[in-house]
Structures are given as structure tokens and as C-alpha cells.
């Protein structure tokens, strides 16, 4: 068993050891070992030329990472909090994501951007957001989001080896969770059925997967057999796995930690409606309200789409309410 944060360290160490073009950069990734201790020990092992502390400028460090990727390196950039991704947008959206297209596929941009995301840790409105959906409609970028240590390891290694930009989301409330690690790679753009069921399909990602599994246990005691899917990747989206599940259950509930407006859940339900409407008896979303993440612990817990809300929502839908 290994902690999620240590799975991140193991993946980074294995990529640094395997490929001399790989290097890490970001605020406090070297001497401090990362604010969430996800790069601890890497400076001592690989030295200051491969593990680099940067000044406090997200735009500057993203530009440097983009430039080094163009010159044949494989940078792994850490943005301390996902909320700060807004400062990197020009380099990501207008340069990194477009360069391969603009060069007629002559130039690759092997850039991985890691960032900590998610609410529930009492960090307040500007340190608790999830920027995955901000880049959801940007062609040229992959967006991956593991929920287990094994997937964190396998997806991160695949991200570093990819020849295009990858945004790698790490939920803060998962860093201390433990799980198995088999050191296998996980293909980008593949979802996982983490619980088989026949009555209803429940789809989520990151921390939401664990909430969905707990909700499925509660509902199972009431006679409702829930299938749970971990998307693992927003872009590319494994719609095929979701469709196969909905073909079986006829119902889908999407659980998203974030507002429904512009969220991935609404997009997924929309794609199902467009491509597989005849499969569905019911398609609904459990999400956060269209409000910033509160700082008050009581209000933050109420904002999150937790297990109780998921169970209550499913009960209401099955009852026809």
C-alpha cells in the first residue's frame, strides 16, 4: 500500500531516471519538496538541474516550460494551486495547445502541468477550485484526474511520455489516501468501471468517485444496484465506456465537484443525449451550486456534492420526484 502523494513521487522519480530530458519546475518543488510533499526527496536524488525552484510567477514558469518543451525537453511544471492556472492561460491556450497544429505536426510540445485542486480542505474560494473545466474546450490539451494511487502513478507516467500538453489534476483530499501500486501505465482517455451494477450508472472523478462508491453502498442496502464509473480523463473523454454502462442500466447520475454551469457533467449528459438518447430513462446531475467555494466549514460541506446529497438525489429520482 502506498499514499497517493508517494505514488506521484514514484512516478516522477521513475520518469526522471528513465529519460534525461525530463525535469521538474515550480514554486517550492525542490528544497521544500512541494507544498503538499509531492516532490519530496527528488532534489536530493536528481540535483538542482533537474528539480528547479522557480520565482513566484505562474506565467513566467509556464512560458519557460513551453519554451523548453519546444527545444526537446520534457518539463513537468507544478502550479501550486489549480486556482492559479488563470495566470498561465496565454502560454497554455494560445501557445502550448496550438503549436503542434500551427507547425503542421512538425513540432511536439511534451509539457505536463500538475496542479492541486478541489474543495473540502478549508482553503476558501480562491484555493479550492477545479480548473479542469476551464480548459475542457481547448483542443490540443489532455486533462486527466486520478482517484487512486495506482492511477496517479500510471496516468502521470503516461502524461510525461505524451508528446502534447497534459493537465494533471491532483485532488488535495486524496493526497493521504492509500492504495495498491503495480507500476503499470494507464492510457490517457480511458475510464474505469470501479463497481458493477444493473440499476443505475453513476459517473464521477477524483474525490467524487469515492463519494459515489460510498453512496452506492448505502443504496445497495436499499436494493438499488449502482454501477460506478471513474472517468479518469476529461479530455479525451471515454464516452464509449459510459454508453456501454447506460445501455445496461438506462439511467445515469453524474456527480461533479463544481457548478453545473459549464461543467463536465452537463457536457457528458449532452453528449449522451445527442448520441444515445434512446438509451436513457433518466439522466441527472448532482453538482455544487453556482457559487464560489465558501470558507466556513459548515457552508463548504453544504456546498460539496457529498454522499448524503448523492443518495438523496438517487432516491428522489427513482421515486419519480
| Phi and psi at residue 221, to the nearest 5° | -65, -20
Q: How far apart are CA 166 and CA 156, in angstroms?
A: 9
Collapsed DSSP state (helix, strand, coil) of residue 215: helix
Omega before residue 290 within 30° of 0, cis: no
- For residues 126 and 43, give the distance between their C-alpha atoms in angstroms, rounded to a whole number: 29
Asked if 78 and 33 count as a contact pair (C-beta separation under 8 A), the reply is no
In angstroms, the first-to-last Cα distance of the chain is: 43
Cell of 63: 512560458
Q: What is the spatial distance between Cα 290 and Cα 303, in angstroms, rounded to a whole number? A: 9
The answer to whether 127 is a known catalytic residue is: yes
Confirm if 147 and 209 have CB atoms less than 8 A apart.
yes
Sign of the C-alpha dihedral computed for residues 52, 58, 64 and 65 taken in this order: positive
In contact, 304 and 275? CB cutoff 8 Å: no
| Nearest-5° Cα angle at 178, 174 to 181 | 110
Q: Which residues pair with 52 in a beta bridge?
A: 25
Rounded Cα gap, residues 92 and 63, in angstroms: 8
β-bridge partners, 170: 116
Beta carbons of 5 and 175 less than 8 angstroms apart: yes
Query: Catalytic one among 6, 127, 164, 313?
Result: 127
The residues facing 286 across adjacent strands are 255
Residue 58 grid coordinates: 505562474
Distance of CA 279 to the CA centre of its chain: 27
**Which residues carry out catalysis?**
127
Amino acid at each position: 500500500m502506498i499514499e497517493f502523494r508517494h505514488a506521484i513521487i514514484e512516478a516522477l522519480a521513475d520518469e526522471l531516471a528513465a529519460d534525461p530530458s525530463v525535469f521538474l519546475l515550480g514554486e517550492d518543488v525542490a528544497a521544500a519538496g512541494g507544498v503538499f510533499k509531492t516532490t519530496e526527496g527528488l532534489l536530493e536524488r536528481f540535483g538542482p538541474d533537474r528539480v528547479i525552484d522557480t520565482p513566484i510567477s505562474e506565467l513566467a514558469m509556464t512560458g519557460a516550460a513551453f519554451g523548453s518543451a519546444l527545444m526537446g525537453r520534457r518539463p513537468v511544471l507544478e502550479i501550486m494551486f489549480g486556482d492559479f492556472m488563470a495566470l498561465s492561460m496565454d502560454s497554455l491556450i494560445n501557445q502550448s495547445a496550438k503549436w503542434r497544429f500551427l507547425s503542421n505536426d512538425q513540432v511536439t510540445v511534451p509539457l505536463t502541468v500538475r496542479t492541486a485542486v478541489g474543495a473540502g480542505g478549508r482553503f476558501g474560494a480562491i484555493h479550492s477550485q477545479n480548473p479542469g473545466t476551464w480548459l475542457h474546450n481547448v483542443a490540443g490539451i489532455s486533462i486527466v484526474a486520478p482517484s487512486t494511487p495506482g492511477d496517479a502513478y500510471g496516468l502521470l507516467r503516461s502524461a510525461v511520455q505524451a508528446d502534447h500538453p497534459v493537465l494533471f489534476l491532483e485532488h488535495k483530499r486524496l493526497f493521504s489516501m492509500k492504495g495498491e501500486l503495480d507500476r503499470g501505465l494507464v492510457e490517457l482517455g480511458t475510464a474505469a468501471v470501479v463497481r458493477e451494477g444493473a440499476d443505475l450508472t453513476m459517473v464521477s472523478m477524483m474525490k467524487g468517485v469515492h463519494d459515489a462508491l460510498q453512496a452506492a453502498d448505502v443504496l445497495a442496502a436499499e436494493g438499488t444496484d449502482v454501477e460506478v464509473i471513474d472517468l479518469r480523463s476529461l479530455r479525451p473523454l471515454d464516452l464509449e465506456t459510459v454508453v456501454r454502462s447506460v445501455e445496461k442500466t438506462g439511467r445515469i447520475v453524474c456527480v461533479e465537484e463544481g457548478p453545473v454551469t459549464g461543467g463536465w457533467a452537463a457536457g457528458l449528459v449532452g453528449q449522451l443525449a445527442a448520441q444515445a438518447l434512446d438509451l436513457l430513462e433518466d439522466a441527472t446531475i448532482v453538482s455544487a451550486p453556482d457559487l464560489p467555494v465558501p470558507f466556513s466549514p459548515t457552508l463548504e460541506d453544504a456546498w460539496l456534492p457529498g454522499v448524503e446529497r448523492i443518495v438523496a438525489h438517487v432516491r428522489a429520482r427513482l421515486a419519480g420526484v
